Each structure stands twice: as C-alpha cells, then as structure tokens.
Amino acid sequence: MEKIKKWYGVLMGSITEQNKAYASLFIIFADLFKYPEKENYNELLNGEIDKQIEQLSRLAGHPIITSFKDEIGSYEEIVQAFNDCFLGITTPFAPPVESVYKVWTTDDSFQVPLKNQKGHLLGDSALHIRHIVQALGLEIPTEYEMMPDHLTILLELYSYLNQEGLISEAEQFKKDHLDWLPDFYNSLIKIERNQPYSNIVLKLNEVLKQ
C-alpha cells in the first residue's frame, strides 16, 4: 500500500521527438563539464560536438550555433583549463557547483557563520537536488555526493525530466537551479585560461533562455 501511495502521482506527459532532442542537447552540455577524456577532446576538435549541438538544438526548436572546435587548443591545454577552472591549481577557480554561487541556507536558525554566505558546498540547493534524485529513483556517483548540484548532474537531471515528458517539473527545475550560470560565467572569466569553458557556459545560458 505504501508503495502504491508513493508512486501514485501525476502521469507523465507525452514524449515528443522535440522533447527528446531537447533532452539530448543537455546531455551533450553535461558531458562538457566532466574531465576531458581524449575521446571527448577529439569529438570537440573534429567539430562533432558543434554539429550535434546544431542538429539537436534545431530539432528541439531552440537553434544555436557553436564553434567550440575553434576555441580549444591542444589536449594538454584543455586539461590545463579544466584544472585551472574547476580544480583550481591556480586561483581563483570556479567550481561548477550551484551551492557555491548561492546563499548557503535560508534557515536562519543555523548558528554557523556561513549560513548567510555564498561560496560553500552542500547548501540548500544541493539538498534539494539530492531530494529530487532520490524521489525519482535515481543515483549519483559517490564521487559527487558532496556536490549533487554539480552542473553536470543538474544538466543530466534537467535532461531526464524533459526526456520523461515532465515538462512543468523541468521548467520549475530550470527556474530554480539553472539560474546561477551568469554568476558562474563571471567567476570563470576571472581565470586566465577560461576557454572553452566560459564560452560553453555562455552558449548553455543562451539555449536555456530561449
């Protein structure tokens, strides 16, 4: 009985080809914030990623054109950029994590100085993502449990909601959890070696705003 209660709810909407293309588009963007394996680098370099983004965004009804292939240098350079931007062997760095760009908690009862500050992991937004992931019966890898609101996970989750036809949920999700990209961009451009990542964020924001 409990199980039935738990799963009784709004039936999924119908899934169109357009939904599917839109969903796939964000899987591609999600991949770009992971560590650049050689294979992904080659896909970027030979224009495969730009081509897929162009096709999927057109099918999805949100056409954008990217030219990431022209913005990346050697493989070593993109690895260096990933280090500088996200791991930050040089400072400043810009973790692709939502909590870092938002006030840690709105719960005023907390008695730690970070409660009203930005710049910390596992803020309210991370707890919400963890909640959504669990409620939908999904899992995130152990390496990301401390930052369930990592941009890759957010984009995969947004993609999943669209893929499953949960359109109003996806809209709400976008409004709540993908609104920090301008702040993220501003942090990125303070880093000397910010390409291709700052451009990827610009394009991502562009498609989300359409």
Binder of another protein out of 7, 14, 38, 192 (CB under 8 A): 7
Looking at 60-68, 165-173, 182-190, 202-210, which segment touches another protein (CB under 8 A)?
Answer: 165-173
Binder of another protein out of 64, 127, 167, 202 (CB under 8 A): 127
Rounded distance between C-alpha atoms, residue 169 and residue 167, angstroms: 5
- Rounded to the nearest angstrom, the gap between the alpha carbon of residue 1 and the centroid of all alpha carbons in its chain is 36
Binding mask 30-69 for another protein (x = CB under 8 A): xx--xx----x-----------------------------
Rounded distance between C-alpha atoms, residue 66 and residue 114, angstroms: 39
Q: How crowded is residue 159: how many other Cβ atoms within 10 Å of its Cβ?
A: 21
Q: How crowded is residue 68: how many other Cβ atoms within 10 Å of its Cβ?
A: 20
Binder of another protein out of 16, 67, 74, 90 (CB under 8 A): 90
Q: Enumerate residues 134-163 that contact another protein by CB under 8 A.
A: 135-147, 150, 152-153, 156-157, 159-160, 163
Q: Which CA distances in Å does 68 have to 3, 98, 178?
A: 47, 24, 21
User: Minimum distance between the CB of residue 162 and another protein, rounded to whole angstroms?
Assistant: 11
Q: Enumerate residues 93-122 that contact another protein by CB under 8 A.
A: 93, 95, 97, 100, 104-107, 109-114, 119-122
